[in-house]
Structure formats: structure tokens, C-alpha cells
């Protein structure tokens, strides 16, 4: 019997972050969530911290500690995305205010302390928002970089371009300086870019399968997905919107769903036109050393089969 993989989830909930948290909470045999860290992004920090606790309580995991992290990017001014996620960041379902507390320890110190405490190669960091917390931890405690097993992130885009600007995906755009630190850290990175997440569409048929479960959790999930996708259907003219963040957790549960390759990735931080762009050397023309496994293909049906099977566990 394999021991569950120890993970830290760093997140800016966000309906798709909430779906990723659900997927992790539904998989205790495979994943041990050491803590949930919040960061400003989709909505300001106070809201992402509230939302993270709302999600923990909805899925019966108020035992998981929630740590508040950065309220601002390392250098740039915070950009949020209420136009996508609604004012609360979790629009689409009415849920009670959380009763579980936020931990008093700062998320950055929790990340450092946890990685230093655990054996080398034990902890996987999963980032679903801007990389501010993990980058700050790497600057404050460079000794943790070689101890991290893997950093699996939703972020960036190459063949698909950007979603917040023509060149940049939101998580990288919010804090490109943090992304630059992470991609130069030497930590083994698995990158789930828009090239993958744009294949993971919450089509009406898939949402109907979730609705058929008829539980409180599945009803809330349907409300989130239907709210979240209205913006994307308009923008992409597709049946459903891309479900970004659960790809990170799905990779840990069923890596065979994904295909990609080792590439060099550099982050644009200077030009206002392209700031936040992930410059992926997919065709290896730069001679720069590969620093990430960049995913490009996913079995979308297999992904949703997994997601729906797991939400049915609550």
C-alpha cells in the first residue's frame, strides 16, 4: 500500500481552485494535504482566505490548516479577476461564512518550516494562483529548493497565448517576478498551461453528469461551474469554459492523462506589452537548459471521469 503523497496547496479560490481542492480532499489514499496556503489573485487575500475555508468546510475538511499568504505581488500592483469569478470569487452558490480559523503562522513561514521538517523529496507544492508565496519562501530560505519533490503549477501558456493579455496567463501575469524566481530556482516544475486547460471544457453534458449526483456538494459544484463558464463561453464561443486548476491535482492522481516535454521556460518581466508571458522553448532553439515539464495534451474525457468519480465520493 503506497503512502499518500504529501502536498501543500497554494491557491486563490476561485471556482476552479475550489474544484481542485475538492479533487484533493476526495483522494486521501493518494494525497495528504499538509496545508492550504492562500494568495491574492482572483480576488483580494481576505476573500481568498475566506473562500479557502468555505471550501474546506463544504467538503468536510475543516481539519486542514489554512495559512494566509501574500496580499500583494512581489513588485507589481495586484490585479484581480472579479469579472471572471464574481465579487466573492466563489459566485454561483450561496454558502455560509466559515467558522474554522485562519492559522496565525504566515503561509510563507509554513511552507519553509514544513519543507525543512519533512525528509528531502517528500513535499510536493501545488500552486493554483500567483507564485508569490512560494517565490518569497525560496528567497527567504534558499535551502528548501533542493528539498522540494516537485512543484506542479497551473500557469502560463504558449500555443494558446494568454488570457488576461494576448501574451500572458493570469497567474503568471499577476506576479511575473515571482514566476521568474520559481523558474530559475532549480525546483522540478510541472507546468499546466492554457494549452492543456483550454482542452478541459465544462460542457453541458459534463456538468449534467455532476448535477445527476444530486448531493449538496455536487449542486454547489454545478453552481460554481455554471457561473465560472458564462464568461468563457462568451469569450471563446465554446460549450463550457476551461476548467484550469484541477489539472494540477489530476496530474498527481493520474499523470498518464497528460503528455508534454522538458523545455526551457523564461518569464517576460520588462515589456508592458508582453509582461507575464511564459516564453516556452518548445522547439529547443534557444540552447537554454530545460527547467520544466510543459504539458500540452490531456485526455479530457479521462480527466472529467476522474473529477466526477471523486466529487461523487462526498
Task: List the catalytic residues.
Answer: 244
Question: Near Ca ion by CB under 5 A, which window of 63-71, 127-135, 267-275, 289-297?
Answer: 127-135
Residues 245 and 19 sit within 8 Å (Cβ to Cβ) = yes
Taking the least distance from each CB to ligand RIB, the nearer of 246 and 260 is 246
Taking the least distance from each CB to ligand RIB, the nearer of 163 and 293 is 163
Taking the least distance from each CB to Ca ion, the nearer of 128 and 257 is 128
Closest by alpha carbon to 174, among 71, 77, 46, 37? 77
User: What gap in Å lies between CA 153 and CA 132, rounded to an integer?
Assistant: 12
Is 7 strand, coil or helix? strand
User: What gap in Å lies between CA 39 and CA 69, rounded to an integer?
Assistant: 5
Q: State the minimum distance, in angstroms, from the CB of residue 48 to Ca ion.
A: 9
Taking the least distance from each CB to ligand RIB, the nearer of 112 and 194 is 194
| Contact footprint for ligand RIB (CB under 6 A) | 12, 14, 16-17, 41-42, 128-129, 154, 163, 169-171, 244-245
Q: Which of 7, 8, 10, 14 binds Ca ion (CB under 5 A)?
A: 14
Q: Which does 33 bind (CB under 5 to 8 A by kind): Ca ion, ligand RIB, none?
A: none
Helix (H) / strand (E) containing 117: helix 107-117
CA-atom Rg of the chain in angstroms: 18
Is residue 175 a contact point for Ca ion (CB under 5 A)?
no
Is 86 strand, coil or helix? coil
Q: Which of 73, 92, 129, 241 binds Ca ion (CB under 5 A)?
A: 129
Q: State the minimum distance, in angstroms, from the CB of residue 157 to Ca ion.
A: 14
Q: Which does 98 bind (CB under 5 to 8 A by kind): Ca ion, ligand RIB, none?
A: none
* DSSP sequence for 199-219: T-B--HHHHHHHHTT-SHHHH
Closest by alpha carbon to 54, among 10, 102, 87? 102
Chain residues in the site for Ca ion (CB under 5 A): 12, 14, 17, 128-129, 245
Amino acid at each position: 500500500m503506497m503512502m499518500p503523497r504529501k502536498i501543500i496547496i497554494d491557491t486563490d479560490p476561485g471556482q476552479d481552485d475550489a474544484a481542485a481542492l475538492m479533487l484533493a480532499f476526495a483522494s486521501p489514499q493518494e494525497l495528504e494535504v499538509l496545508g492550504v496556503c492562500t494568495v491574492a489573485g482572483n480576488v483580494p487575500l481576505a476573500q481568498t482566505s475566506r473562500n479557502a475555508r468555505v471550501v474546506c468546510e463544504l467538503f468536510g475538511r475543516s481539519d486542514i490548516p489554512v495559512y494566509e499568504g501574500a496580499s500583494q505581488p512581489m513588485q507589481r500592483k495586484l490585479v484581480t479577476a472579479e469579472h471572471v469569478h464574481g465579487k466573492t470569487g466563489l459566485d454561483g452558490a450561496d454558502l455560509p461564512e466559515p467558522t474554522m480559523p485562519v492559522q496565525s503562522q504566515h503561509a510563507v513561514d509554513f511552507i519553509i518550516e514544513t519543507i525543512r521538517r519533512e525528509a528531502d523529496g517528500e513535499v510536493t507544492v501545488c500552486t493554483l494562483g500567483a507564485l508569490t508565496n512560494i517565490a518569497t519562501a525560496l528567497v527567504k530560505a534558499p535551502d528548501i529548493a533542493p528539498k522540494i519533490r516537485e512543484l506542479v503549477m497551473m500557469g502560463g501558456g504558449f500555443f494558446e497565448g494568454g488570457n488576461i493579455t494576448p501574451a500572458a496567463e493570469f497567474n503568471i501575469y499577476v506576479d511575473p517576478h515571482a514566476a521568474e524566481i520559481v523558474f530559475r530556482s532549480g525546483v522540478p516544475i510541472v507546468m499546466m498551461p492554457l494549452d492543456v486547460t483550454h482542452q478541459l471544457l465544462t460542457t453541458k453534458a459534463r456538468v449534467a453528469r455532476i448535477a445527476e449526483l444530486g448531493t449538496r456538494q455536487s449542486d454547489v459544484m454545478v453552481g460554481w461551474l455554471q457561473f465560472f463558464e458564462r464568461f468563457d463561453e462568451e469569450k471563446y464561443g465554446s460549450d463550457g469554459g476551461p476548467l484550469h486548476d484541477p489539472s494540477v491535482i489530476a496530474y498527481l492522481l493520474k499523470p498518464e492523462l497528460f503528455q508534454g516535454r522538458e523545455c526551457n521556460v523564461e518569464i517576460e518581466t520588462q515589456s508592458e506589452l508582453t509582461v507575464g508571458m511564459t516564453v516556452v522553448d518548445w522547439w529547443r532553439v534557444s540552447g537554454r537548459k530545460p527547467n520544466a515539464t510543459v504539458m500540452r495534451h490531456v485526455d479530457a474525457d479521462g480527466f472529467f471521469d476522474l473529477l466526477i468519480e471523486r466529487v461523487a465520493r462526498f
